[in-house]
Chain A
């Protein structure tokens, strides 16, 4: 007999899974005073992939990272990183993780090279091995030219890259990136995205990324968990989550406002049209297959003399996923908790 719950678990962790999970959080609970930052948070991450914890500010993402990176202890629950228990073997965990926190851990008074060397020494690198590893990372993150300048002179993007390089000096198997692109300009952000996907694809590093940018999770993560109020509300691959929503969204802009009844009558005969919505001259339609439904929709409106100025077909976004599982729009939740 399989209960619905078993089905749910097997759906999330396929039986053909090749590697043991690199990260596993089980029922983590953490309270700060009266605030329950984590409320039985659980997820697991397959080795060598990028996993995103997506949620608004204050959802508990950073607290989860703090616990997994041994900075903080949960009130209850357990977690393993690369096979080591974060509570029982924190020293071993620290040897295999790299961590880039929201606040930069770069020493502003030291140069990029010195920052990297110090991290290397702490991890037991010495002499020529240390020097070449430092040079290699400076090269990889395009920091060679600025290597001997004090880090306080770096731009936000450079500082963040140095932060990541510092987290990689000892070739960790798991890398934590807590809101890595917050505060970066679009160019630096795109740059960083490229670097991060390379880490997973080429270097087979498991990356746990937290973000409150839907776009970022969508772009980078193989799987993601949406976190809300300290809980995972849903997890899966971005495409899978979006696919679970019904069909595509078709946005139409009409040349002038039309009575809803008239539009409804015009579209009555077109199959695959659901959830008609009006906002002034804008018309929103849900459709199983947006691309095939669009021509008959246009033809039907045309025949009734309703002029369409533009049409846009959109796959459902993670925003839609968020709305469906939490009942709030993402931007609303993000600004609501930030206050």
Chain B
């Protein structure tokens, strides 16, 4: 089907550019690495509180930082579609018979690949810093999948917004305004049992929470698969809904020409 093949062609274009500038990945990882190193040290002893169930803080933190990185990668993904619109690259594709869905699909596929690379690098660093993944390969795969689902969902929304406002500044503003609060309204840094009630209530509706929950559970030695599957279900719904919104936004963009 054209949607898949065209998405692959378009994703390959971004990936080739990425391979020419591999330091770009390193650049996107500067912040998460600082979180792993600093927060990992700073909060080392919070695991002594009840609610952390005994694991080391770096073991607790690593999947959280992986998911947070996925969230930010997704959140910023819309920036480059504005560059493409302004540069004329988008119009070049629109006058060709390229599958319209692939214009968003290709970007999300590219995002997914970047997210997998980032996640593996961060998990590796976490391991070096002392994190242990008892869930083994399966656990790591679930971690990757939950990070990717979150990134794709948030990425689709970021593109939808970029297509609606068409200004980089607005996307930067919105991303800054939304992404960090989403992180702190989730159990990325703090066990859910230790959150104030209202945050715990909000967290239930936060895709970041679903992603962290599934990943952390899968990395335990005895995973609760019902919990993982339910969180995956939510994430999948979120990604599909976001994708649908992005498609609508893209159609509106085309009509405004």
In residues 115-146 of chain A, which contact B (Cβ within 8 Å)? Answer: 118-119, 121-123
Task: Kindly list chain B residues whose C-beta atoms are within 8 Å of the C-beta of A97.
Answer: 95
Task: Kindly list chain B residues whose C-beta atoms are within 8 Å of the C-beta of A166.
Answer: 92
Task: Kindly list chain B residues whose C-beta atoms are within 8 Å of the C-beta of A101.
Answer: 88, 91-92, 95
The contact string, 1 if C-beta is below 8 Å from chain A, for chain B 69-113, is 000000000000000001111011111111000000000000000
In residues 115-129 of chain B, which contact A (Cβ within 8 Å)? Answer: none
Choose one: B17, B91, B93; the contact of A109 (CB below 8 Å).
Answer: B17
Task: Kindly list chain B residues whose C-beta atoms are within 8 Å of the C-beta of A95.
Answer: 97
- Interface residue tally on A, bucketed by range: 20 to 34
Q: How far is the CB of B16 from chain A (nearest CB, A)?
A: 6
B167: interface (CB < 8 Å)? no
Q: How far is the CB of A55 from chain B (nearest CB, A)?
A: 20
Choose one: A66, A72, A107; the contact of B13 (CB below 8 Å).
Answer: A107
Answer whether A114 and B13 are a contact pair too, CB < 8 Å, given A94-B95, A122-B98.
Answer: yes
Q: How far is the CB of B251 from chain A (nearest CB, A)?
A: 12
CB closest chain-B residue, reference A114: B16
Contact B95 A103 (CB under 8 A): no
Task: Kindly list chain B residues whose C-beta atoms are within 8 Å of the C-beta of A110.
Answer: 13, 16-17
CB closest chain-A residue, reference B92: A105
Q: How far is the CB of A171 from chain B (nearest CB, A)?
A: 14
The contact string, 1 if C-beta is below 8 Å from chain A, for chain B 23-38, is 0000000000000000
A91: interface (CB < 8 Å)? yes
Task: Kindly list chain A residues whose C-beta atoms are within 8 Å of the C-beta of B91.
Answer: 71, 101, 103, 105
B9: interface (CB < 8 Å)? yes
A24 to B11, CA, bound (A): 37
A173: interface (CB < 8 Å)? no
A99 to B96, CA, bound (A): 9
Contact A122 B95 (CB under 8 A): no
Choose one: B9, B16, B20, B95; the contact of A121 (CB below 8 Å).
Answer: B9
Answer whether A105 and B89 are a contact pair too, CB < 8 Å, given A72-B257, A114-B16.
Answer: yes
Task: Kindly list chain B residues whose C-beta atoms are within 8 Å of the C-beta of A102.
Answer: 88
B132: interface (CB < 8 Å)? no
Q: How far is the CB of B2 from chain A (nearest CB, A)?
A: 9
B6: interface (CB < 8 Å)? yes
A69 to B97, CA, bound (A): 11
A44: interface (CB < 8 Å)? no
Q: How far is the CB of B107 from chain A (nearest CB, A)?
A: 13
Task: Kindly list chain A residues whose C-beta atoms are within 8 Å of the C-beta of B89.
Answer: 105-107
The contact string, 1 if C-beta is below 8 Å from chain B, for chain A 70-90, is 111100000000000000000
Task: Kindly list chain B residues whose C-beta atoms are within 8 Å of the C-beta of A114.
Answer: 13, 16
Task: Kindly list chain A residues whose C-beta atoms are within 8 Å of the C-beta of B88.
Answer: 101-105
The contact string, 1 if C-beta is below 8 Å from chain A, for chain B 19-62, is 01000000000000000000000000000000000000000000
Contact A91 B97 (CB under 8 A): yes
Q: How far is the CB of B9 from chain A (nearest CB, A)?
A: 5
Choose one: A66, A72, A94, A106; the contact of B97 (CB below 8 Å).
Answer: A94
- Seed contacts A94-B97, A122-B96; 12 additional CB < 8 Å A-B pairs: A71-B257, A73-B255, A101-B88, A105-B87, A107-B13, A109-B17, A110-B16, A114-B16, A118-B13, A122-B98, A123-B96, A166-B92
Return the 9 tightest CB-CB contacts between A and B, nearest first.
A105-B92, A103-B88, A109-B17, A99-B95, A72-B257, A94-B97, A105-B88, A122-B98, A69-B95
Interchain Cβ contacts under 8 Å between A and B, 21 examples = A69-B95, A70-B95, A71-B94, A71-B95, A71-B257, A94-B96, A94-B97, A101-B88, A102-B88, A103-B86, A103-B91, A105-B87, A105-B88, A106-B92, A107-B13, A109-B17, A114-B13, A118-B10, A119-B96, A122-B9, A166-B92
